[in-house]
Chain A
């Protein structure tokens, strides 16, 4: 039973990010991270900014940075709808870092027309992307042993 797999689809408005069988998926729920294995009961939850980890088999993990969305579990499989999703290997770290500094500068500048929630969200997204890119580097070291 340990390696039973189920169907997972990760969709964004721009394209299908992932469509295949996996043994488990870990996602950042608004009430904390959770992991789904095969045979889970129907479940609907909101996702926060964070990392989705896709395990296609027990010892391979792929990391995805997301800005939040919906996570649906049905008997037939799991569908994740996220507005943005980027595989760790596709993340442009230097771009994320410059977005981070830009957001930081805006937050400290105290400009009168500052849209604080929007800048804070941009800050969280950039931070997340850097973190996910870093995680993936560690994992790929492990998997090459």
Chain B
């Protein structure tokens, strides 16, 4: 049985932890709200881009034009680039470890098929994990989530698109935590390149535009913009998912700490009572000895 002083010290330290985790969950909740707003703010742009792309494809002779575009071309997969998106910091439950585990599985999967894999790591957690284990890392982006800018997505896309058109890689995949809701995040594996063919939009009322430059040039440009947008969404989603995961983890920790405090207070009271009882019986027996 712990002494009274030890129990008191433990209560103090658990209370400290409880305060820290509670503060962290409040901060994560505030960041989560901002991250969700950022996701919503992409809608007007993203939706319009999809509509224009859909219109354009519906007006184009797809057989001739689109399928010859290098970003749509399917090649035999020998070199794969995986973009693994984690956070920069821990204390967010299984957020980082899920991405790392899925990435490792994908790498094994491709290596069994005889393809080699290179990584682009986003976030310190994946970068440190894979670097320590000697994986092939093309590039990594660290500390980008504090101040997330669209330009970062553009830079990442530029990086792998360049490798793809130079035929250094034949396939690009991204692995990240998808923000389903504040309580549910799931790891997703999405193919970025070659692009999956986009369905034309069945808008028969749509009148064709006048194009400048030609349809094909515009189509290529829009594909590129769409790729930037996909990458941007991945970054925003992962950021929101990280904050959500951290808030949940810290809330859990706070609750556990409170339970522990309650339990320790009971123990402390019991110990104190025992001590008092011992003292009284000592005094009583002392007095009895004097009288006797």
Query: Which residue numbers of A lie inside 8 Å of B, CB to CB?
Result: 9, 11-16, 29-31, 41-46, 69-70, 72-73, 79, 81, 83-84, 118
The complex places the Cα of A16 from the Cα of B271 at a distance, in Å, of 64
Contact between chains at A70 and B222 (CB < 8 Å)? yes
Contact between chains at A12 and B45 (CB < 8 Å)? yes
In the complex, what residue of chain A is closest to B149 when comparing beta carbons? Answer: A14
Chain A residue numbers with a CB within 8 Å of B46 are: 13
Interface 9-residue window, one of B6-14, B25-33, B192-200, B210-218: B210-218
Known: A72-B52, A81-B48. A31 touches B213 (CB 8 A): yes
Which residue from B52, B158, B221, B229 sits with its C-beta under 8 Å from A13?
A: B229
Chain B residue numbers with a CB within 8 Å of A72 are: 48, 52, 209
Q: A13-B45, A46-B212 are in contact. List 12 more A-B contacts (CB 8 A).
A: A9-B44, A13-B46, A14-B42, A15-B41, A16-B44, A30-B213, A43-B209, A69-B225, A70-B218, A70-B221, A81-B52, A84-B151
Contact between chains at B210 and A41 (CB < 8 Å)? yes
CB distance from A11 to the nearest CB of B (A): 4
CB distance from B195 to the nearest CB of A (A): 17
The complex places the Cα of A11 from the Cα of B225 at a distance, in Å, of 13
Number of A-B contacts (CB under 8 A): 76
Chain A residue numbers with a CB within 8 Å of B228 are: 13, 83
Contact between chains at B150 and A14 (CB < 8 Å)? yes
The complex places the Cα of A45 from the Cα of B214 at a distance, in Å, of 9
The complex places the Cα of A43 from the Cα of B209 at a distance, in Å, of 5
CB distance from B10 to the nearest CB of A (A): 48
User: Does B251 sit within 8 A of A, measured CB to CB?
Assistant: no
Query: Which residue numbers of B lie inside 8 Å of A, CB to CB?
Result: 38, 41-42, 44-46, 48-49, 52, 56, 150-151, 153-155, 158, 207-213, 217-218, 221-222, 225, 228-229, 232
Contact between chains at B150 and A70 (CB < 8 Å)? no
In the complex, what residue of chain B is closest to A31 when comparing beta carbons? Answer: B212
Chain A residue numbers with a CB within 8 Å of B213 are: 30-31, 45-46
Contact between chains at B210 and A46 (CB < 8 Å)? no
CB distance from A43 to the nearest CB of B (A): 5
In the complex, what residue of chain A is closest to B155 when comparing beta carbons? Answer: A118
Q: List 23 A-B contacts (CB under 8 A).
A: A9-B44, A12-B45, A12-B150, A13-B45, A13-B229, A14-B150, A31-B213, A41-B210, A42-B209, A43-B209, A44-B52, A44-B56, A44-B209, A44-B211, A44-B212, A46-B212, A46-B213, A70-B52, A70-B218, A72-B48, A79-B48, A83-B150, A83-B228
Chain B residue numbers with a CB within 8 Å of A84 are: 150-151
Which one of A12, A69, A83, A118 has the greatest number of beta carbons of chain B within 10 Å?
Answer: A83
The complex places the Cα of A128 from the Cα of B208 at a distance, in Å, of 32
The complex places the Cα of A3 from the Cα of B38 at a distance, in Å, of 36
Contact between chains at A13 and B150 (CB < 8 Å)? yes
In the complex, what residue of chain A is closest to B44 when comparing beta carbons? Answer: A11
Chain A residue numbers with a CB within 8 Å of B210 are: 41-44
The complex places the Cα of A42 from the Cα of B154 at a distance, in Å, of 29
Chain A residue numbers with a CB within 8 Å of B153 are: 13
CB distance from A28 to the nearest CB of B (A): 12
Chain B residue numbers with a CB within 8 Å of A73 are: 209
Contact between chains at A11 and B45 (CB < 8 Å)? yes
Chain A residue numbers with a CB within 8 Å of B38 are: 14
CB distance from B225 to the nearest CB of A (A): 7
The complex places the Cα of A118 from the Cα of B155 at a distance, in Å, of 9
Known: A11-B45, A72-B52. A46 touches B208 (CB 8 A): no
The complex places the Cα of A12 from the Cα of B228 at a distance, in Å, of 12
Which one of B46, B154, B229 has the greatest number of beta carbons of chain A within 10 Å?
Answer: B154
Contact between chains at A45 and B212 (CB < 8 Å)? yes
Contact between chains at B42 and A13 (CB < 8 Å)? yes
CB distance from A62 to the nearest CB of B (A): 19
The complex places the Cα of A69 from the Cα of B229 at a distance, in Å, of 12
Chain B residue numbers with a CB within 8 Å of A45 are: 211-213, 218
